[in-house]
Amino acid sequence: MTPVLRVASRHLARIAAIVAALALLPAGARAQEPAAAAADSEAPNVWVSLALGRAYDRHDLKLGGAASFWLSSGALALGARIAGPSDFDNGSITDGSLLVGLRRPLDWATVVGAVGFGVSTAKFGCCDDRPLVGAMTYHGEAVVSARYAGVGVSVFGALEPASRAYTAIGLTLEIGRIH
The domains of the chain are located at 3-24+45-177
SS3 42: coil
Grade residue 31 by pLDDT with cuts at 50, 70 and 90: very low
pLDDT in tens, 34-43: 444 454 557 8
Cβ neighbors of 177 (< 8 A, separation 6 or more) are: 43, 44, 45, 46, 47, 147, 148
Looking at 2.40.160.20, 3.40.50.740, 3.40.50.300, 3.40.50.460, the CATH number of the domain 3-24+45-177 comes to 2.40.160.20
Q: What share of the chain is helix, strand, coil (3-state, %, to 5)?
A: 15, 60, 25
- List the one residue out of 154, 92, 141, 85 whose CA is nearest residue 113: 141
pLDDT in tens, 91-115: 778 889 999 999 998 888 889 999 9
Residue 119 CA to residue 129 CA, distance in Å, equals 14
Amino acid letter at 150? G
Q: Residue 172 CB: number of other CB atoms within 10 A?
A: 22
Distances, alpha carbon 164 to alpha carbons 106, 123, 139, 169, in Å: 34, 10, 16, 17
Residue 11 or residue 159, greater confidence: 159
**What is the gyration radius of the CA atoms in the chain, in angstroms?**
17
* Half-sphere exposure for 120 (CA within 13 Å, toward CB): 24
* Half-sphere exposure for 41 (CA within 13 Å, toward CB): 13
- C-alpha 139 chain-centroid distance: 2
Residue 152: its pLDDT value, please? 94
pTM: 0.74
